[in-house]
Amino acid sequence: MALGISAPAFQDGGEIPAAFTCEGRDLSPALTFTGVPAEAKSLALIVDDPDAPDPAAPKMTYVHWVLFDLPPDTPGLPEGVTSLPAGTKDGLNDWKRTGYGGPCPPIGRHRYFFKLYALDTTLSHLDRPTKAELLAAMQGHVLAEAQIVGTYQKAG
């Protein structure tokens, strides 16, 4: 079975409910992980938005969440996760803080990529890495990857 990630609150390509955005409670959505390779030593999760600031003229990919060293037997994360699985570490998002920051697009409908990686190692030497630092450390260690995409546009 291939590595998979899903979100009960929205379908791949569907709209992220407002509860998981800056217009709602800004909770992280529940996520389910499946098909983790037996040889995986850890999982990493990156949530980002390649449409910032304007989908009609994107200039950057905005990072909303960075997690790594999740145990490979982690079945997923609950909605509004406050207690991460043992050993899991946070990276920095583009607000320069750890944790989840929900969609809050200034203009237009943005895409939010929830990317899950199965790694053949742990990255415990990293200390609150940025997405770029995490990706660099993951080079040559990715066994499998999966993603789900949600969209969001502010009301009015």
Per-residue pLDDT tens digits for 42-81? 999 999 999 999 999 999 999 999 999 999 999 999 999 9
**Alpha-carbon distance 14 to 150, whole Å?**
5
Instruction: List the 110-119 sheet strands across, edge first.
Output: 89-90, 60-70, 42-52, 110-119, 142-152
Model confidence, pTM: 0.97
* Predicted confidence (pLDDT) per residue in 113-146, tens digit: 999 999 999 999 999 999 999 999 999 999 999 9
User: Which superfamily does CATH assign the domain made up of 4-152 to?
Assistant: PEBP-like (3.90.280.10)
User: 17, exposed or middle or buried, with CB in 10 Å at 0-12, 13-18, 19+?
Assistant: middle
**Alpha-carbon distance 115 to 46, whole Å?**
5
Domain ranges, ordered by start, for the chain = 4-152
